[in-house]
Structure 1
Amino acid sequence: MTVSHLRNVTAAAAVAAGLLLSGCSSHGSGDSGESTTQAAPMADSDLQSDYQQVIKDVLPSVVQIDASDSLGSGVVYDDEGHVVTNAHVVGKEKTFKVTTATGKQALTAELVSSYPEQDLAVIKINNPPSGLKAAKFADSTKAEVGQIVLAMGSPLGLSSSVTQGIISATGRTVSEGRSEGATGATIANMVQTSAAINPGNSGGALVTLDSEVIGIPTLAATDPNLGDSAAPGIGFAIPSAMVKTIADQIIKDGKVTDSGRAALGITGRTVLGDDYKPAGVAVVEAQKDGAAAKAGIEAGDIITKLGDAELTTITSLSEALAGEKPGDKAQVTYVRDGSDKTADVTLGEM
């Protein structure tokens, strides 16, 4: 079957754990024993009913997206036929086939706009059918570790599939690789989940027991010790707050007009030290009127720190900037002609 690929991503915690990141009898009286044996099945039944209700509520809003050389998932955003998904699912394609959970004949859709910097995109179904159900989106700022979630999508091309787990961490900053069509995006505030995330889940829905989408599954971790195969129980979803911010702008203006992402305004590359290990980010170009140029940073300078964050690679710079906002002030440490220098930079916007 044709599948899309979840990408490798990197994060400090995962590196420390040896992971590369890529898109969870008692004894007593007879009476108490009887009470215990009756309560457990009731609790199990209640949870099962909750799962089934969530699936009934949300699965009709999750679609399968077929591009010419990839397959992924998407979430119906409104009753006008807009569908939000990942930028790496749409790739460079402009037209798509969309299959709803009913499994009826595929619909055609066209790209509205893609925003690779956040690995998000919006497509629009041509002639959306009546009854197309838009998903409800949760407030991801209220996501809690331990919260039960369900992942819905088309893993390995198996449409309308559901897995379950918990939110295992929040506030993760992760970076995609650039191989196999990945965007190379660095994304802040990601929701980490133990729900199984597989190729084809990209762009689908991570859903709470309130039947609300709290994130868009995007990335899965891989373990180099296992031949870069998936590390079970470590997946990441773009938080719904960011999804709504980007999707609303694309639908309104046809593009992202306010990214909320901090930038130095440079083109850079990783440089190696005398020990052949990554040692900083060389400025290839400092954009005219960009944040770095305004602070006196020039092409040829090697940036080694942003605030207190040590920078050794272009990815580490992206991850440091992901935690900042446009307009924030940051001290940048750099090397020029063998001497360490610092500059106070007012960060611009990506």
Structure 2
Amino acid sequence: MTDSSASSDDRPTDPVLSANEPASDLAATFGRPEGVDGSFAPDASPAERPQPTIAPPDPVLAEAFGRPEGETQTLQRDPYAQPATDDVPEPDPWRDPDSAAHLSAPAVGGDPESSPREKGPLLGIRELLFGGRVHWWALATLGLLALLVGLFGGLVGRWTAEVVTPLHADTVHLEGDSPDSATGGTNVERVAKAVQRSVVTIEVRTAVDGGSGSGFIVDKAGYIVTNNHVISKAANDSKAKLEVVFSDRQRVPARLVGRDVKTDLAVIKVDDVANLTVSKLGDSADLQIGQEVIAFGSPLGLDKTVTSGIISALDRPVPLRPDADSDTDAVINAIQTDAAINPGNSGGPLLNDDGQVIGVNTAGAMTGGGSIGLGFAIPINEVIPIANTLIADGKVKHPSVGITAATVRNDRIFGAQIKDVAGGSPAAQAGLREGDVITKFNGRPIESADELTVAVRTSKIGEQVKFTYWRDGRYFDGELTPVSD
């Protein structure tokens, strides 16, 4: 029987492989490398250590993230940073489009000794002609040039004078005509056909708005009568366009001859229009209430419109005040008619049944924007002298007595009460004073300030006028002589 215990000397030991013994698989796997005796291999010198190999960067990445050519700094320089030194190159506007404009040194240096010389004495006519300072041929050339300029100016002046007809003329005189008894009777159709070629539409256009009215031809030279409020915008705006439209729709530019804001009358003129039909002017002195009349014009821009009616009143004072479209400030002594007068009829003729112009349609009383049978026209006998003066001189002077008045109506007196008397005026010289009430002037009963205005305006400058006034409960008569305004 054998002993199962064993001593420490009998423990198995690791096999030791000698260098002379063939290497087994275990030794090949876990054994020391050849030439190594210790537990670690000896350190190799830096030169013997293997170094990593860095491949060249991708060309795209190198271009995007690499340093610019010639740059050795790690961080890129701020392209907008100012240089630290004072050696700043001058801007070159020829190569740098962002450089500011500036003045550089001149290409050629000026002479520092040269300086502006003081002006010498000016040459007079004597030195110029006889002083020998100017060569004779230069004087001759200047004289020839002056002669040519004068000759050219004279030719141009004569040519323009022949092309543009004169605006004013003292050879034109408007006159009324008596009715032709052989053609009496009411015939609206016949009258309309006879006068339609003598009536025109007047249009005014400005940069912001426009307007239209009517007018009638009074002379073959191209003179046309209308209302001032029709052409007021053209008179006050130099850039406004003023045109006349004839019955055949021919459109012609017109020029303003003259206007009068105190009577609301104006005259315009067209040039180079052949075969004009001139209106026949009648007489408004013998008009009768109830007499049949015809209004012709372009109400609301509707040309060749005819309306008919009767004279419903005479000597009706109608005030016309300035507004946004007109500077007319007048009181007309109107013919009242029930013939329809609408906006656009203004300036057109009011005719009797013989086709004669007896008034200028001027205003209409309206409610709701249309005619209500109350139209007003300026009598032709008052139009003719105003038109003649405008054609001859371009402006009109009116009689004045030097007072302002207001209408007064109470249980004691009706009339025009004086509110102010101008010093040294005809009224002051006649003894009138504030508070007096004028009840009659130049044979015309006065019951309002508008009636007094009409009575004064229809008087004549320099001709004595009789009047009646009321003061302190008593009536007095006086005389005065109107003067020019």
Gap regions ≥5 residues in structure 1: 1-45
Task: Kindly indicate whether residue 308 of structure 2 is the aligned counterpart of residue 164 of structure 1.
Answer: yes
Q: For residue 247 of structure 1, what is the aligned residue in structure 2?
A: 387
| Per-residue deviation, 1:248 | 1.5
| Per-residue deviation, 1:77 | 0.8
What SS class does the counterpart of residue 141 from structure 1 fall into? coil
Q: How far, CA to CA, are the matches of 1:279 and 1:247 in structure 2?
A: 29
CA contact (8 A) 1:295 1:343 kept: no
Which of 272, 286, 311 aligns to 2:422? It is: 286
CA contact (8 A) 1:153 1:200 kept: yes
CA contact (8 A) 1:150 1:165 kept: yes
Which of 73, 97, 119 aligns to 2:214? It is: 73
Task: Kindly indicate whether residue 350 of structure 2 is the aligned counterpart of residue 201 of structure 1.
Answer: no
Which of 401, 409, 412 aligns to 1:264? It is: 401
Percent of matched pairs sharing the same residue:
36
Task: Kindly indicate whether residue 273 of structure 2 is the aligned counterpart of residue 129 of structure 1.
Answer: yes
Task: Kindly indicate whether residue 259 of structure 2 is the aligned counterpart of residue 118 of structure 1.
Answer: no
The aligned amino acid for 1:117 is K
Q: How far, CA to CA, are the matches of 2:306 and 2:232 in structure 1?
A: 25
Which of 433, 438, 447 aligns to 1:305? It is: 438
Q: 1:233 to 1:130 in 2, by over 3 A?
A: same
Q: For residue 99 of structure 1, what is the aligned residue in structure 2?
A: 245
Q: How far, CA to CA, are the matches of 1:138 and 1:243 in structure 2?
A: 11
Q: Deviation per CA, 1:128-166: give whole Å up to 9, x if none.
A: 310111101111123233332221111011112111112
| Per-residue deviation, 1:92 | 4.8
CA contact (8 A) 2:215 2:226 kept: yes
CA contact (8 A) 1:115 1:256 kept: yes
Task: Kindly indicate whether residue 286 of structure 2 is the aligned counterpart of residue 142 of structure 1.
Answer: yes
Q: For residue 174 of structure 2, what is the aligned residue in structure 1?
A: none
What SS class does the counterpart of residue 280 from structure 2 fall into? coil
Q: How far, CA to CA, are the matches of 1:270 and 1:307 in structure 2?
A: 15
Q: 1:304 to 1:159 in 2, by over 3 A?
A: same
Q: Deviation per CA, 1:238-270: give whole Å up to 9, x if none.
A: 11111112111221233335x5xx53223x365
Q: How far, CA to CA, are the matches of 1:178 and 1:100 in structure 2?
A: 29
Gap regions ≥5 residues in structure 2: 1-183, 236-240, 410-414
Q: 1:75 to 1:269 in 2, by over 3 A?
A: same
Q: 1:150 to 1:128 in 2, by over 3 A?
A: farther
Task: Kindly indicate whether residue 472 of structure 2 is the aligned counterpart of residue 348 of structure 1.
Answer: no
Q: Structure 1 residues 148-157 or 196-205, which shifts more?
A: 148-157
What SS class does the counterpart of residue 93 from structure 1 fall into? helix
The aligned amino acid for 2:188 is Y
Q: 1:131 to 1:291 in 2, by over 3 A?
A: same
**RMSD of the alignment, in Å?**
3.3
Q: How far, CA to CA, are the matches of 2:482 and 2:273 in structure 1?
A: 43
**Structure (1 or 2) with the greater strand fraction:** 1
What SS class does the counterpart of residue 254 from structure 2 fall into? strand
Superposed counterparts of 1:46-65, under 5 Å: 50-65=187-202
The aligned amino acid for 2:430 is A
Q: How far, CA to CA, are the matches of 2:245 and 2:222 in structure 1?
A: 12
Q: How far, CA to CA, are the matches of 1:79 and 1:57 in structure 2?
A: 17
CA contact (8 A) 2:439 2:469 kept: yes
The aligned amino acid for 2:262 is E
Q: Deviation per CA, 1:186-213: give whole Å up to 9, x if none.
A: 222x222111000010000111221211
Q: For residue 237 of structure 1, what is the aligned residue in structure 2?
A: 377
CA contact (8 A) 1:70 1:89 kept: yes
Q: 1:72 to 1:334 in 2, by over 3 A?
A: farther
Larger relative contact order (Cα-Cα within 8 Å, sequence gap ≥ 6): 1
CA contact (8 A) 1:178 1:184 kept: yes
CA contact (8 A) 1:192 1:235 kept: yes
TM-score, normalisation: structure 2: 0.51
Q: For residue 33 of structure 1, what is the aligned residue in structure 2?
A: none
Q: For residue 187 of structure 1, what is the aligned residue in structure 2?
A: 332
CA contact (8 A) 1:280 1:304 kept: yes
Aligned residues between the structures: 281
Q: 1:128 to 1:270 in 2, by over 3 A?
A: same
Larger Rg: 2
TM-score, normalisation: structure 1: 0.69
Q: 1:128 to 1:146 in 2, by over 3 A?
A: farther
